[in-house]
Amino acid sequence: MRVGVIGVQGDVSEHVEAVARAMHDAGKAGDAIAVRRREELDRVDALTIPGGESTTISKLLVKLGLFDDIVRRATAEAMPIMGTCAGCILLAKDAGIQADKTKTKLLGLMDMAVDRNAFGRQRESFEADIEVEGLDTPFHSIFIRAPAILRAWGDCTPLARYKDRIVLARQNNLIGAAFHPELSGDLRIHRWFLDLV
Ligand code: GLN
């Protein structure tokens, strides 16, 4: 299998490394590549969208002609996508007034509303061990200017909460994480993602 990592901005190399390691650990043959061009997107079986700055990533996806292809492959072909932090924001249908003000075009693939920078300035970055549905021990989670998922509806299922706010959700072939599973060394969420491919 080949997994693409949207490589336009944000923690791209961390994603490439985490995916490659998760594949290796799971005994799956394949590779992870950064995706910046449509030809590259055509060749991947699944995609991760890194953390970074969601407005910037969105604008670059449009500019590079990747935006509509991602939406098409996720819907018509049910291609698995995992978005972390900024990537999670882009997967959402609604990202509130901050997205409207910055004219951030969302991929809008998951039935959820997110709040960008939900944890405020005092808690710009923090780490927490959270309970995740389906995992028998807590997941060490790194939050960096993280969003929270305010609401999930339809087929979107919350899988973890931090202080009553949803921080991990899944909808069929799509996974959104408000935190950064690619940074903590714990690849259990990546394993779920690879199992979708
Ligand atoms: N706060 C960023 C945004 O709104 C996301 C932060 C991150 O991806 N680490 O896009």
pLDDT, tens digit, for every residue of 138-195?
A: 999 999 999 999 999 999 999 999 999 999 999 999 999 999 999 999 999 999 999 9
Best substitution site from 15, 54, 119 to test ligand 1's pocket, by max atoms within 8 Å of Cβ?
Answer: 54
**pLDDT value at position 27?**
97
**pLDDT value at position 92?**
98
For residue 55, give the H/E element and its range.
Answer: helix 54-63
Q: How far is the CA of 29 from the centre of ligand 1 (A)?
A: 31
**pLDDT value at position 183?**
97
Dist. CA 47–CA 85, nearest whole Å: 15
52 lines ligand 1 (CB under 6 A): yes
pTM comes to 0.97
Dist. CA 71–CA 175, nearest whole Å: 14
Q: How far is the CA of 12 from the centre of ligand 1 (A)?
A: 14
Q: How far is the CA of 117 from the centre of ligand 1 (A)?
A: 7
Q: Give me 158's structure tokens.
A: 């919350």
DSSP code of residue 137:
S
Please report the atom of ligand 1 found closest to the CA of residue 10. Answer: 8
Residues in CB range of 52: below 8 A, 6 or more apart? 9, 10, 11, 85, 86
Evaluate whether 2 touches 20 at the Cβ level (below 8 Å).
no
What band does 122 get if pLDDT is binned at 50, 70 and 90?
Answer: low
Q: How far is the CA of 172 from the centre of ligand 1 (A)?
A: 24
Catalytic residue IDs: 85, 180, 182
**pLDDT value at position 98?**
87
11 lines ligand 1 (CB under 6 A): no
The single residue listed with the structure tokens 């072909």 is 77
For residue 5, is pLDDT > 70?
Answer: yes
The mean per-residue pLDDT over the stretch 77-95 comes to 98
pLDDT, tens digit, for every residue of 27-68?
A: 999 999 999 999 999 999 999 999 999 999 999 999 999 999
115 lines ligand 1 (CB under 6 A): no
181 lines ligand 1 (CB under 6 A): no
DSSP code of residue 43:
T
Nearest to 177 by CA among 164, 159, 153, 196: 159
Nearest to 82 by CA among 156, 173, 186, 9: 173
For residue 124, is pLDDT > 90?
Answer: no
**Which CATH architecture group holds 2-194?**
3-Layer(aba) Sandwich (3.40)
Please report the atom of ligand 1 found closest to the CA of residue 52. Answer: 8
